[in-house]
Amino acid sequence: MVDSGRPAFHFTPPVNWMNDPNGLVYHNGEYHLFYQHHPESIVWGPMHWGHAVSRDLVDWQHLPIALHPDERGMIFSGSAVVDKHNTAGFGANALVAIFTCHKDYVETQNLAYSHDDGRTWTKYAGNPVLPAQDAYRNFRDPKVFWFEDHWVMCLAAGRQILFYISRDLKHWEQSSIFGDGHSARDDVWETPDLFPLSVETSDEKRWVLTTGVWNGAIAGGSGTQYFIGHFDGRTFTSERSAETVLWMDHGADFYAPQSWNNEPEGRRLLVGWMSNWQYAKLVPASTWRGAFSLIREVSLKKVHDEVHLLQRPLPEMQRLRAEHFRWQEKTVQPSTNLLADLHADSLEILATFAWDGNVSRFGLRVRLGEEEQTSIYYDMHEQKLCVDRSQSGQVDFHDMFAAVHSAPLLPIDGLIRLHVFVDAVSIEVFANEGLLTFSESIFPSQQSQGLELFVEGGSIFLHSVDVFYLNPARFQMAEKS
Ligand code: FRU
């Protein structure tokens, strides 16, 4: 089989298998990105930590593998911190990785440290720092961060998140458990993250806890839920009812997101794996498999007295904008296509729509070919935003892939705003300033590069449409050591 086209601006492994992002940390001018990696196969297997660095989060340099499996097992997901004050005794400003070792379902938490900007790593001789627990078969994915005067670790355990605290990264004491009775409980929770965010245009603050749900998520299979609440350094409490389920993304391909520790501008930036455990090992691939989402900047906003998560594409991505097409104040009737002359498989679209009373649906078709299309449309009757990838290209490798995913969306001031990114094997939709997102893998043929802006039943009024062709980001291979 030929390689699925390499994305132009999404991160992919140099070869073979990749899943979760790991160890996201900023240090000495570099953003580090580690990832779950099987370096010898395009299917999941003995997990290593692959590694790449970037100075601007757009262009990346691949580096040699950072962590290899050992007698304690595979190197599963985890995080990394800068130990500024040498709390662990590995040296001031050491980079410390905290990760799960997995062997026959014995899961322990372990440390490794680096004094050379993450180029080489030493595993701590006193590992594990947290032994396996009989009560939990799944006990993994430590996300560690600094809180005022101590370290905090969030750990996924069954359908719960355990919180631990430490002064030195080596000795951990359990401080609380979150999750009992809360929200999506169909399958195990994985890869937690916890971070504070400001509520836009107010001086309020909340904490957001995110967790992967392995199966049973909103678009089928794996997905990411989140909770909004408060954290006092030891205990997280959700401010919503226990039944509330909040999904971070309504597409099928946004899993195991992690945010960067130590971001120099104080922004909260995160990235997820664009796949789904239901079909991850079946998606078309020959030499590499797995991609990350666009990096997103998150914040909070109050809508009708409730706090919601907002996710926006990383502003630095604007650097890739090339040719620009713009329409303003334009009425569009059914059976016309304003975008008929445009063709690209790497682009960005921003559109703001209003409509007359007869419209039944309107939206965009991307990666359009003779027999292929992926549609993003607003259904007026249902007041839902939908993404239909049932005819997006290769879809028959798994039963649940050819699907329409949808989520409720209300107009704001009578308008729907869409911000869409299209790349070789994915689309991402940010609606109404990031209140709703969809991340979807697609596998169209390379020739399907058409675009359409369509309306059914009545006419739409476009405040503006901007289409940008995007230049590729640079992904530099590791130098042979
Ligand atoms: C999430 C996950 C983690 C685990 C890793 C193994 O996708 O299942 O819980 O650490 O992948 O690769």
Between the CA of 7 and the centroid of ligand 1 the distance, in Å, is 23
Give the residue, out of 16, 72, 76, 103, with the most ligand 1 atoms within 8 A of its beta carbon, to mutate for a pocket test. Answer: 76
Supply φ then ψ for residue 169, to 5 degrees: 70, -10
pLDDT, mean over the chain? 96
Report whether pLDDT(79) > 70: yes
Beta 296-303 vs 60-67: how paired, if at all? unpaired
Which among 383, 361, 376 has a CA at the least distance from the CA of 451? 376
**Ligand 1 atom nearest 273 alpha carbon:** 7
Between 48-52, 116-120, 355-359, 414-418, the lowest mean confidence (pLDDT) is in 355-359
Distances (CA, A) of 344 to 2, 11, 142, 303: 20, 19, 40, 36
| Active centre residues (catalytic) | 20
Residues with CB under 6 A from ligand 1: 19-20, 36, 47, 76-77, 100, 140-141, 190-191, 212, 255-256
Which among 366, 370, 374 has a CA at the least distance from the CA of 339? 366
DSSP 432: G
Which residues on neighbouring strands pair with residue 224, listed in sequence order? 212
Question: What residues contact residue 341 under an 8 Å CB cut-off, 6+ apart?
Answer: none
Which residues on neighbouring strands pair with residue 451, listed in sequence order? none
Q: Quickly state the pLDDT bin for 481 (edges 50, 70, 90).
A: low
Name the one residue in this structure whose structure tokens are 């078969």.
137
Between the CA of 188 and the centroid of ligand 1 the distance, in Å, is 11
Residue-wise burial string across 217-253, b where 16 or more C-beta atoms lie within 10 A, e elsewhere: bbbbbbbbbbbbbebeeeebebeeeeeebbbbbbbbb
Question: What residues contact residue 399 under an 8 Å CB cut-off, 6+ apart?
Answer: none
pLDDT tens-digit readout, 208-238: 999 999 999 999 999 999 999 999 999 999 9
Give the residue, out of 19, 49, 279, 293, with the most ligand 1 atoms within 8 A of its beta carbon, to mutate for a pocket test. Answer: 19
Between the CA of 214 and the centroid of ligand 1 the distance, in Å, is 9
Between the CA of 141 and the centroid of ligand 1 the distance, in Å, is 7
Between the CA of 163 and the centroid of ligand 1 the distance, in Å, is 18
Distance CA 24, CA 157 (A): 21
**Ligand 1 atom nearest 212 alpha carbon:** 1
Between the CA of 81 and the centroid of ligand 1 the distance, in Å, is 20
pLDDT at 444: 97
- Full-model pTM: 0.97
pLDDT at 4: 60
pLDDT tens-digit readout, 31-49: 999 999 999 999 999 999 9
> How many C-alpha atoms does 202 have within 13 Å on its Cβ side?
13
Query: Quick check: helix, strand or coil at residue 434?
Result: helix
Q: What's 151-213 look like in SS3?
A: EEEEEEECCEEEEEEECCCCCCEEEEEECCCCCCCCCCEEEEEEEEEEECCCCCEEEEEEEEE
pLDDT tens-digit readout, 249-289: 999 999 999 999 999 999 999 999 999 999 999 999 999 99
**Ligand 1 atom nearest 141 alpha carbon:** 10
**Ligand 1 atom nearest 277 alpha carbon:** 7
Report whether pLDDT(2) > 80: no
The 321-332 sheet, strands edge to edge: 321-332, 460-470, 347-355, 416-423, 426-431, 436-441
**Ligand 1 atom nearest 20 alpha carbon:** 7
Q: Quickly state the pLDDT bin for 1 (edges 50, 70, 90).
A: very low
When computed from its CA atoms, the radius of gyration of the chain, rounded to whole angstroms, is 22
Supply φ then ψ for residue 320, to 5 degrees: -85, -5
Query: Quick check: helix, strand or coil at residue 23?
Result: strand
Which among 80, 56, 64 has a CA at the least distance from the CA of 14? 64
Question: What residues contact residue 457 under an 8 Å CB cut-off, 6+ apart?
Answer: 334, 358, 359, 360, 361, 380
